[in-house]
Structure 1
Amino acid sequence: MERPLLVYTTFPDAETALAIGEELVRGRLAACVNVLPGMRSVYAWKGAVERGEEVVAILKTREGLADSLAAALRQRHPYETPIILHLATSGADPDTASWILAETGG
């Protein structure tokens, strides 16, 4: 069975994250997108240290969709350089893994 994959990214606000997340779920690139508002960030960008407010999004998908999901995120994302981190899972509850695979066409 193909393994589940978590994808971590950030957005400028919850509405943007939810709208893009819904597109990705409807397109079966992700089974679920969790949006966690209220994150404050300190980051280096183009030689300066910046601060900002963002939201975290964690996308539940499968390993075989990693490249397609990353491409879809880059295409829709408002950031010049979106953060897209693939977080491999070392295990998953069988029912959870089956659900992710079923909802992403796996």
Structure 2
Amino acid sequence: MTKSSCERKLNQPCLVLSTSPDEAIAKRLAQTLVEEQLAACVSMIPQITSVYMWQGEIESDTEVQLLIKSDRVRLPALESRLMSLHPYEVPEFLVLDVDSGSEDYLAWLGQSLKRETPDVV
């Protein structure tokens, strides 16, 4: 892999999915991730219902879905920070690569994350 294609992969936009137990915690998580420029934007979808298996039991909870817009270079720092702030024992952290999108939106996303690039782990 050439350096330029490697750089493109690291700077590739991505969408991280996570959930929060309530809107207050979701807002604190979103605010922190955007302030620290680990995310360009965090969208919150309130009152989703999650049904899942936890410790051998089927659980059902109302949660807030977080849609975290970032890039691959920030993923290690983003994951570490989210895990340190999150109240869940095992927070959702699913990464979806963004292969294309509006040129203007993707440029804004990249500019919003411009500050110091976190160390790649």
Residue 12, structure 1, aligned to residue 21, structure 2: yes
**Are the aligned partners of 1:5 and 1:89 in contact in 2 as well (CA < 8 Å)?**
yes
Q: CA deviation at 1:18?
A: 0.8
Aligned residue for 2:52?
43
Q: CA deviation at 1:75?
A: 0.5
Aligned residue for 2:33?
24
Q: CA deviation at 1:77?
A: 0.4
Q: Could you tell me which amino acid in structure 1 is paired with residue 71 of structure 2?
A: R
Give a deviation string over 1:22-69, Cα, whole Å, max 9, x none: 011000000100000010111000111011110100001111111110
**1-10 or 52-61, which moves further after superposition?**
1-10
Q: 1:64 aligns with which of 73, 79, 93?
A: 73
Higher relative contact order (CA 8 A, sep 6+): 1
Q: Could you tell me which amino acid in structure 2 is paired with residue 4 of structure 1?
A: P
**Structure 2: runs of 5 or more not aligned:** 1-7, 116-121
Q: 2:95 aligns with which of 83, 86, 95?
A: 86
> Following TM superposition, where does structure 1 have runs of at least 4 consecutive aligned residues deviating by more than 2 angstroms?
none
Identity level (%): 33
More strand by share: 1
Q: Say how many residue pairs are matched.
A: 106
**Structure 1: runs of 5 or more not aligned:** none
Q: Normalising by the residue count of structure 2, what TM-score does the alignment of the two structures yield?
A: 0.84
User: Root-mean-square deviation (CA), in Å?
Assistant: 1.1
**Are the aligned partners of 1:10 and 1:57 in contact in 2 as well (CA < 8 Å)?**
yes
Residue 101, structure 1, aligned to residue 105, structure 2: no
